[in-house]
Amino acid sequence: MGTVYDFSAKQLGGDDISLDRYRGEVLLIVNVASKCGFTPQYEGLEALQRNYQARGFSVLGFPCNQFGIQEPGDAKEIAQFCKLTYDVSFPMFGKIDVNGAHAHPLYEFLKSEQKGLLGTEPIKWNFTKFLIDRLGQVKGRYAPTTKPAEIASAIELLL
């Protein structure tokens, strides 16, 4: 049985890092986009980061351009948007695919561990959220319509 710690990903700045760096933390992994109807959720994600970071929690943002071409920018544009618009302090990674032949291996793992509505695996849209416990196991999958604040009680249970 694998964990999220078995994967690595490129940070927005281009450095490849192992997710093992987050071992022992509770994580919320989210595919994000800057031109989506759900983009204001950045504010709620940042609130979770600030509220729970000291207790061993982190949001990990993965920009994705697969849904309606809603993340067209390059790494610099994404970083600038996140900082200037939502003062994002949580780790942001390089743009990835979450579905299809070029889906990032982390997302293949997440989808196989926690199915979506009616047992489907594919990510339906931006701002799908996966909650990970301190052992690197997937404990929940939340739809794009689920506001970050609605996940707070589940996060607290894992902290």
- Residue positions annotated with a catalytic role: 36
C-alpha pair distances (Å), 119 with each of 111, 112, 126:
10, 10, 18
Using CA atoms, how far apart are residues 139 and 135, in angstroms rounded to an integer? 10
Backbone angles phi, psi at 129, to 5 degrees: -120, 140
Q: Evaluate whether 57 touches 48 at the Cβ level (below 8 Å).
A: yes
Integer Cα distance of 55 and 47 in angstroms: 14
